[in-house]
Structure 1
């Protein structure tokens, strides 16, 4: 989030309803089978969405948050106070090792807050990984997301 950016204005609940309703249903119908598990993955604000989805629905049992926006105001407190829709079996977090080095006070909390959420999940017995990667938020986004997906598939 930068000085002149508009604040995030929502839409996550509406999208989650569409994703867990019509989109996933259409995929399952096309496959003609029920998957062993359903996972969600996202990068940046999408990484926050992936983790938030674990609390808002019982559809997902695995999640990837690559360079996730865990700095988002009050999300750490939300994660501390709320229960999962279904206890996830595997969760992967990653950040660039320079993401917290910013003059933006809000964004600079990303590593600390991600670490605290990681600790919460580990303490709940969830198979959780938190990996630091070289670079800032924008370096190797596709590779970081792919690494996370590979990790939760094992």
Structure 2
């Protein structure tokens, strides 16, 4: 290579290299809205599915996951949903994730005013600002959800996910406002709160209503807490297990409890959220090889899923494109034709 060419080649190479280095990977966008309910500005973080802006397919609507403690959970959760929704191995539909950032966490997520004393200083009340969860759930229902529904393409299916006080909030919302969300996730919920007030509320709910609302899901994870041996919130485990016993005696709720050995309170939400999504959308995954033999199985599976979840789910256009490509490349002509017709049925460009 001549010296002059080397001299020219290097700057050109570095130019293209630097240009590529400036490309950014974005996982979401921040939105700020003023809450009349809470009388303050609140920040929410929104992650959109990978196909949301894909102009080669028809605009789709997506389920929405409302994620508490957004500043802690949003980054990993957004990637987790994309991973679980990847075709052709999707365990869940693509979802919009809305992370709600905290301002006054204890105020917003706790159901009652508690004067629990510090175990190291009995003269200190730990939760002086507690008990504002009714205002916060009103903020979610009357302000956040309408904002998301107005500005994004949303499906009528939503999930509320929380950890610790957020898990307490999720269960309290299920008991008091079961219709606000379709599914609830409570990772290591603080059911010890205020002398186990939610245990009493759960018993009262079952006594009054006899059963939980149909087609609702609740997932509860439980950490292997070292605090139990340290006498710090030692009633955490007992309260979760007591709640589990009450719910399992009432078989109407689509419920799962999972104990994570080796995970402490601060880490359990990661595996808990992963398993919760697979549990909530159980039945969403289809076997593409089986579809080659029995193409009608796809609509049958989605009908079963929709009936179980109380909301309509249909195969996405993106997934149908994958199925059609698979049938074509493997010589399943009849199945290819079937799925092309199915695509026209759901996503006609007329």
TM-score in terms of structure 2 length: 0.39
Structure whose CA Rg is larger: 2
SS of 2:180's equivalent in the other structure is coil
Q: Flag the 1:122–1:17 CA change in 2: closer, same or farther, 3 A.
A: same
Return the offset for 1:41.
0.8
Q: How many angstroms apart in 1 are the aligned matches of 2:277 and 2:240?
A: 18
1:127 alignment counterpart? 254
> Are positions 1:28 and 2:155 aligned together?
no
Structure 1 stretches (4+) deviating beyond 6 angstroms?
A: none
SS of 1:16's equivalent in the other structure is helix
1:71 alignment counterpart? 192
2:327 alignment counterpart? none
Deviations 1:27-83 (A, max 9, x none): 222334441x32211011000001100122121231110011011122211111136
1:138 alignment counterpart? 266
2:181 alignment counterpart? 60
Q: How many angstroms apart in 2 are the aligned matches of 1:112 and 1:148?
A: 22
Structure 1, unmatched stretches of 5+, are none
Q: Does the 8 Å contact 2:188/2:268 carry over to 1?
A: no
Q: Does the 8 Å contact 2:221/2:268 carry over to 1?
A: no
* Match for residue 109 of structure 1 among 224, 235, 238: 235
Return the offset for 1:136.
1.9
* Match for residue 217 of structure 2 among 80, 90, 107: 90
Q: Does the 8 Å contact 1:54/1:61 carry over to 2?
A: no
SS of 1:108's equivalent in the other structure is coil
Return the offset for 1:139.
2.5
Deviations 1:73-100 (A, max 9, x none): 222111111368x726211111112253
Q: How many angstroms apart in 1 are the aligned matches of 2:278 and 2:152?
A: 21
Q: Flag the 1:138–1:5 CA change in 2: closer, same or farther, 3 A.
A: farther
Q: How many angstroms apart in 1 are the aligned matches of 2:130 and 2:163?
A: 18
Q: Flag the 1:150–1:101 CA change in 2: closer, same or farther, 3 A.
A: farther
Deviations 1:120-141 (A, max 9, x none): 2222221211111123211253
Q: Flag the 1:149–1:5 CA change in 2: closer, same or farther, 3 A.
A: farther
Structure 2, unmatched stretches of 5+, are 1-115, 283-350
> Are positions 1:15 and 2:131 aligned together?
no
> Are positions 1:47 and 2:167 aligned together?
yes
User: Relative contact order, CA 8 A, sep 6+: which one is greater?
Assistant: 1
SS of 2:219's equivalent in the other structure is strand
RMSD: 2.4
